[in-house]
Structure 1
Amino acid sequence: MSDHDQDDHLPTEHDAQTPEYKHSTGGWGSLKSLTRIFGKEASTPEALRTLERQNKPEGVMCTSCAWAKPAKPHLAEFCENGAKATLWELTSRRCTPEFFAEHTLEELRDWHDYDLEQQGRLTHPLRYDADSDKYVAVSWEEAFAAIGAELRNLDPKSTVFYSSGHAGLEASFLYGLFARLYGHNNLPQSSNMCHETTSVGLNEIIGTPVGTCVLDDFEECDAIFFFGQNPGSNSPRFLHPLKRAVERGCKVVTFNPVRERGLIEFVDPQNLLQMTVGTPTKISTEYFQVRPGGDISALIGMIKLVLDAEDQAPGTVLDRAFIDDETGGFNEMREAVAAISWDEIEHASGLTREMLGRAADIYMQSEKVIGIYGMGLTQHVHGFQNLGMLVNLLLLRGNIGRPGAGISPVRGHSNVQGQRTVGIAEKPKLVPIEKLEEMFDFTSPRDEGMNAVAACEGLLEGSVKAMILMGGNLVRALPDRERIEEAWSSLDLTVYVGTKLNRTHLKPGKSCYLLPCLGRLDEDIQASGPQSISIECSLSHIYGSIGKAKPASEHLKSEVAIVAGMAKATLDHNPKVRWDEWTADYSLIRDLVEQSYPDDFRDYNGRMFEPGGFYRGNSARERNWQTESGKAEFTAPTVLSAIGAEEAEGRLTLITLRSNDQFNTTIYGFSDRLRGLSGSRDVILINREEMARLDLEEGQEVALVSDLDDGVERRITGLTVTPFDLPNGCIGGYYPEMNVLVPLSYHDKKSQTPASKGAPVRIEA
């Protein structure tokens, strides 16, 4: 941040001089967007039949976000982004061997990510041919045999098995088992890049790696506090229970550097009255544009006010019985908060004491409070303390472990949480290793494996020799992208499992295979007949999913079959490991999951199509604190901002954003409708006050450079200055394009989650 006075920019309303979306989230804008995507994706009639079944009992679970599926679904239980994901997967376009015969990988690297994926569904297994620099068709048998031979010749500890969050619980369980039978725990996953702070932080503080809320809590809470989460683009179906909560009197308080339309107002596209003559539902009672990383101080300020109110009227504000019986560390936290001045709080948060007082009043007047957060809280150097302060606030009045209250991270990918649940984890302590050893008669590695950051460090230093990617676009999603891309070609083996061509597939190792898989929406026929899979949502419920769309090609295999095929070709025979039987009948895999995790998956096969999913439980929800102390722990703050870099003249904080027309690294188009932006993604967003201070003009072309002094030059050029309503001292840019500016070493101190919401940069005209 620059060292000028930043506390004079404290907007509570949108800056009228900068772009914005003039309408409500949802409504006609959402329907128009879907119509546009339907035509552009060359979608088949099957897509409409799939949307009719989406997120319903005995239906197909959305491939987009991880929001919960209600027991009594709407007529259309899908949102704009979920529909985009469905239409994207069920496109009629095909990316065949003939396409690859016409294009070298060097040529395709000049294409935009959007154009790569617009080639459609992959149809055949492919092998990279270095002499021609092209992918060529290969049989499944040849591909599996070659992959197995490569893996047998490598030290298992030098290989990495990554998973994107797309695969169902069945394939995920087998993938983790394959890794451990092979001899490693190198199982990084997409949560390493976004919500690992949650997994590590919540586990330490309240004894569970996931949130404590269920859907019913949103029907009886009195207040919801949002931090760094945008339901309008990232989890739009969440807007329905949010709308109901507001309409019955629930207060919503939002802290976010960006004024996101989904937390301002919403029109239900399925409510004809509201769509025609009704008025939009106003969502946020209060909306505070906190400085990036300033959530720690904003929360400290609210905690300070709550503690002051208790001092003035002892026994009327805090839940003393809960604090005394169920928590530890309260006095240390209180002393640390008391030592922080209001000047420090206001400067670090960018908010006034009066603003934080309004938020604290709502908190104290509410009997049941839910804390919601997203990557705006987790993707920071001090993301753990962001999370710790939010838990502190909730613990003060006993708002964890009772109905209508709790903490609720909103996950991104549809099964990212579930994969962790069934063993996609680099930490052996999170997996029932002894039980797996007994079930499958082997000795599992006990050493901790590599997460995503450690895998990249191993790649850069040369110790990682192979990357097996179960879905995703990892090269594009990682921080320090240019350094990672340059090192990627040194790998001995790369295996990419996916549905469409993406940027990562254009970076082959010395030996490389691109294996096309069935999508979740596709019919999956195995030896025993049609198969179903299952996934877990952000609220810890498990749902069965049945794909019925005709597969894009007869040459596709399911993720289960691909994992089994690679494993059979790699591992020695073990009579207790029955890859063929498991591929033939996925219910047998679910039996194994239940045997491995009996408390979470009791009667798994019998309950997987239960309306609303079956709840696998949460110890903290029952106030059974599985922490080292046996209690929920308060956190004493040691910093005032989650940003890891000090303030300096000319330094700005970069926050990365996703547009309304993308999901993770998938770009559906070039409209960021809900922010009033469209066209190029090569922009920097900055408020006009900062533009004047830095002598920048609207439309000017500039470069951004990393301002972390670690001896590595990071630069992105050709960015257009675009005025936008943001706090002073920060700029916005789109993910994944801006990943090149996020250093691999710049991550949360506890979880190693990349700090993509607070990277230090400078603008060069």
Structure 2
Amino acid sequence: MSERTELPSAENPEGLLDLKVTEPYKWAAGMTAVGAAMADIFEETGGPRGVGALFKMNQKQGFDCSSCAWPDPDDDRSPVAEYCENGAKALAEEATLKKIGGEFFAKNSVADLAHQTDMEIGKHGRIAEPMYLPKGGTYYQPISWDGAFTKIAEHLNGLDSPNEAAFYTSGRTSNEASFLYQLFVREYGTNNMPDCSNLCHESTSVALAEAIGMGKGTVTLNDFYETDVIIIMGQNPGTNHPRMLTALEKAKKSGSKIIAINPLKEAGLIAFKNPQTTKGVLGMSTKLADLYLQVKINGDMALLKAIEKLLYDYEKETLLEIFDSTFIENKTVFYDQFIEDLEKYDVNELAEAAGVPLGQIQEAADMLKHKSRIIVCWAMGITQHKNGVAQIKEIVNLVLLKGALGKPGAGLCPVRGHSNVQGNRTMMIYDKPYEKQLDKLKEVFGFEPPREHGYDAVDTIKAMHQRKVKVFFAMGGNFLSATSDTMYTAEAMRKLKLSVHVSTKLNRSHLVHGEEALILPTLARSDKDVINGEMQIVSCENSMGVVQQSKGVLQPVSDHLMSESLIVCNLAKKVLADRTVVNWDLYASHYDHVRDVIEKVIPGFEEYNKKVRIPGGFYLPNAPRHGDFETDETPGKVQFTVSKLPEHPMAADEYMMTSIRSHDQFNTTIYGLEDRYRGIHNERRVIFMNHKDIEKAGFKTGDKVDLYNNYGGIERSARLFVIVAYDIPERCTATYYPETNVLVPIDSVAEKSNTPTTKLIMIKLRPHQA
């Protein structure tokens, strides 16, 4: 048994494997994806357990995939494979037969575990019993559930103010657990509810709420089959939302055109080999992108303005109606101000700022000229920038000009990441709740909820660092690895009195902890959840506002696991004791009771228990989808917005860096080391660079370098990366997340949304010194 005396590592350890680089793919999925998925399933589950569960995943009477939030078809679903490669890998992770408990932790100190990579940490198996790390301890040890709840209650009730605690939520948490969680936190007395949306699509929520009156998208899956043009921006569906490829293929067969906008050429935007078709099995692919615009990092705003300017100039020259004047007149405001600003721009300068040849931008404008059924999709490549909110409002501008909102085959499509991140927010997991929501809680439950806005994710980290937050409770997720400024965040975590994580598997956040720490093992989405002899169902909301049931099918690997909903109920009873006015025993006895009260509090959930049992679920109300807009400043009207182009001054030796996910990864969970679509095998510590930049800097492919910057006079560095020449615009680089999160300063955030700017950080390179 080894003993390490240093602090547990907050980062993946330095060290390289046997990197192999091959040609990037020009297509995604195919039988290769099937083979990769099945390999993980058999390795982790032994075969029958995992394969049997696959047939129930994303089925109408099955369980919801715990991976991405792409919607399931409303009509018939594939009886063979209504899932993707990464969905199968996510299932393999939670359906694994490997498990760890007291014996494992007695042999492995926290410091020893922290010297493993994130992938190695996650591969140990499911956490089988509650674990406790005492003050000054170096090994986790078993603790009873009652002992764990008592420990948390002692800390929470010993704080000077409820605002000295923060309660994080990941996107895996069901609607029922999320509602109970926020109910407990607000009865406890705080709105400190950071969530994973703060780190990803918060810019979307802010921008759309201000522009169209709702912080969600406006399209349904069926709209993809009725549209004329689909624009995909800052998104890599082949890796992050693979089931989207099936929808894109179906759209192409219906005659739609696709414009892809991304700094890297991604296989999933180029072509798709559908393994559920004879053509795909035989290795034939469907071309997806009709036009691929390879923008500079954060060149999207300039590109959108260039398209808008070309359309405007064409309308003036030809006197043809290119913009939808009726829609603009009846449904929008601030059009004149928008046009006045647009006229100031020169398309050649905009093209240069975007990094895209003007001829290609003209092609995009030509594809849009006479079309009004247009869908724009986007993800982290748009939101995680300083001007993320403004960029989304510019997307709205383009849609408004074409009248592509509030009708079939048209609209706005933010593609969410984790499977229920949108449902969390619907269930009031939010640090800035609306007054009408709090009023409803008071009306239904009879207690006065806190009105003061709480901390979001970034503010929580700062508050922990300043010792203003002393207890941190995480409902799922890997907070440390998901956030920016890794070393700063680690320092903040270590200043806590208590850190608690509700988890299925071990991750780095369990190893960088407060003075005391708890790991509470919970059921996974695929696990059976039985209460009083009756199988329970939960529900989730996908990216397009469909709420449907999810019912686990697997026998849990341990009898000591507890559902998230029961964890909340038991914790609330222990913490609030006699001062609670909520009947936690009722909600713990059956989840139907939770849904009964949700429908009393949250609009759109009338007859929740009845509708959630309808195969395929039900759509939540979405006024903008039908052309009704309820913006606060301009009721009934959508707003055009005037935004400035971002400026990115760079020294001669500086580069723009964006973070990306490998194909063998979902969020912070690393499934393996095969990013085969980009031709990277058996390594993650790589930096993708344009070959001209490599030569100008005096480097060559394969060189080992350190990455660093000096934001705010503080040097941040990520050591030991291998240079890989890649098709990426000059002065742009890309690295895998979360290995380079350490380079993202805690104060580098998007305006208004406070989202970390993980998609654009300035860096420099220097030869690696061992």
Q: TM-score, normalised by structure 2?
A: 0.95
- Structure 2 counterpart of 1:753: 755
- Structure 1 counterpart of 2:72: 69
Which of residues 390, 396, 399 in structure 2 aligns to 1:394? 399
- Structure 1 counterpart of 2:5: none
- Structure 2 counterpart of 1:88: 93
- Equivalent pair of 1:128/1:508 in contact (CA under 8 Å): no
Alignment of 1:269-348 (within 5 A): 269-276=275-282, 279-314=284-319, 316-348=321-353
Amino acid at match of 1:529: E
Which of residues 433, 440, 456 in structure 1 aligns to 2:438? 433
How many angstroms does 1:22 deviate by? 3.4
Amino acid at match of 2:610: G
Matched, 1:27 2:27: no
C-alpha offsets along residues 709-740 of structure 1, whole Å, 9 cap, x if unaligned? x1222001111111111111111100011100
Distance 1:483 1:606 in 2: 48
Distance 2:403 2:630 in 1: 17
Alignment of 1:706-721 (within 5 A): 706-708=709-711, 710-721=712-723
Alignment of 1:170-569 (within 5 A): 170-276=176-282, 279-314=284-319, 316-429=321-434, 432-527=437-532, 529-569=534-574
Distance 1:742 1:41 in 2: 34
Distance 2:765 2:326 in 1: 52
- Structure 1 counterpart of 2:705: 702
Q: 1:646 is paired with a residue of what secondary structure?
A: coil
Once the two structures are overlaid, the 10-residue window that deviates more, 289-298 or 461-470, is 461-470
How many angstroms does 1:511 deviate by? 2.1
C-alpha offsets along residues 587-630 of structure 1, whole Å, 9 cap, x if unaligned? 10011111101x31121110113333210021211222121212
**Structure-2 change in CA distance of 1:116 and 1:187 (3 Å):** same
Amino acid at match of 1:412: G
Matched, 1:664 2:667: yes
- Structure 2 counterpart of 1:606: 610
C-alpha offsets along residues 241-280 of structure 1, whole Å, 9 cap, x if unaligned? 110111221000011001111110001111124322x731
Matched, 1:674 2:677: yes
Distance 2:630 2:236 in 1: 30
- How many residue pairs match? The answer is 742
Identity across the alignment (%): 38
- Equivalent pair of 1:70/1:611 in contact (CA under 8 Å): no
How many angstroms does 1:424 deviate by? 0.2
Distance 1:561 1:491 in 2: 25
How many angstroms does 1:32 deviate by? 1.9
C-alpha offsets along residues 280-301 of structure 1, whole Å, 9 cap, x if unaligned? 1000000011001000000000
- Equivalent pair of 1:65/1:414 in contact (CA under 8 Å): yes
- Equivalent pair of 2:168/2:472 in contact (CA under 8 Å): yes
The RMSD of aligned alpha carbons is: 1.4
How many angstroms does 1:132 deviate by? 4.0
**Structure-2 change in CA distance of 1:632 and 1:382 (3 Å):** same
Alignment of 1:575-724 (within 5 A): 576-597=581-602, 599-627=603-631, 628-630=633-635, 631-639=637-645, 641=646, 645-708=648-711, 710-724=712-726
Amino acid at match of 1:577: V
C-alpha offsets along residues 361-401 of structure 1, whole Å, 9 cap, x if unaligned? 11113231000101101000011121111111110011011
C-alpha offsets along residues 328-386 of structure 1, whole Å, 9 cap, x if unaligned? 11111111111122342122100122111100111113231000101101000011121
How many angstroms does 1:148 deviate by? 0.8
Q: 2:132 is paired with a residue of what secondary structure?
A: strand
Which of residues 116, 126, 143 in structure 2 aligns to 1:121? 126
How many angstroms does 1:648 deviate by? 2.5
How many angstroms does 1:576 deviate by? 4.2
Which of residues 727, 731, 740 in structure 1 aligns to 2:733? 731
Distance 1:305 1:31 in 2: 43
Distance 2:619 2:439 in 1: 25
- Equivalent pair of 2:663/2:674 in contact (CA under 8 Å): yes
Amino acid at match of 1:653: M
Q: 1:648 is paired with a residue of what secondary structure?
A: coil
How many angstroms does 1:583 deviate by? 1.1
Q: 1:134 is paired with a residue of what secondary structure?
A: coil
Distance 2:394 2:26 in 1: 34
Distance 2:699 2:547 in 1: 51
- Equivalent pair of 1:43/1:87 in contact (CA under 8 Å): no
Once the two structures are overlaid, the 10-residue window that deviates more, 40-49 or 740-749, is 40-49
Matched, 1:51 2:57: no
C-alpha offsets along residues 290-334 of structure 1, whole Å, 9 cap, x if unaligned? 001000000000000111122123352111111011101111111
Amino acid at match of 1:269: P
How many angstroms does 1:24 deviate by? 2.4
- Equivalent pair of 1:44/1:91 in contact (CA under 8 Å): no
Unaligned 5+ segments in structure 2 are: 1-20
Amino acid at match of 1:726: I
Q: 2:549 is paired with a residue of what secondary structure?
A: strand
C-alpha offsets along residues 488-509 of structure 1, whole Å, 9 cap, x if unaligned? 1110111110000000000221
**Structure-2 change in CA distance of 1:393 and 1:19 (3 Å):** farther
Unaligned 5+ segments in structure 1 are: 1-17
Once the two structures are overlaid, the 10-residue window that deviates more, 150-159 or 603-612, is 603-612
Q: 1:512 is paired with a residue of what secondary structure?
A: strand
Amino acid at match of 1:624: D
Distance 2:384 2:745 in 1: 13
- Structure 2 counterpart of 1:165: 171
- Equivalent pair of 1:257/1:292 in contact (CA under 8 Å): yes
Distance 2:23 2:472 in 1: 42
- Equivalent pair of 1:465/1:493 in contact (CA under 8 Å): yes
- Equivalent pair of 2:546/2:619 in contact (CA under 8 Å): yes
Q: TM-score, normalised by structure 1?
A: 0.95
Amino acid at match of 1:254: A
Distance 1:389 1:367 in 2: 17
Which of residues 106, 114, 119 in structure 2 aligns to 1:109? 114
Q: 2:705 is paired with a residue of what secondary structure?
A: strand
**Structure-2 change in CA distance of 1:375 and 1:484 (3 Å):** same
Q: 2:733 is paired with a residue of what secondary structure?
A: strand
Q: 2:37 is paired with a residue of what secondary structure?
A: helix
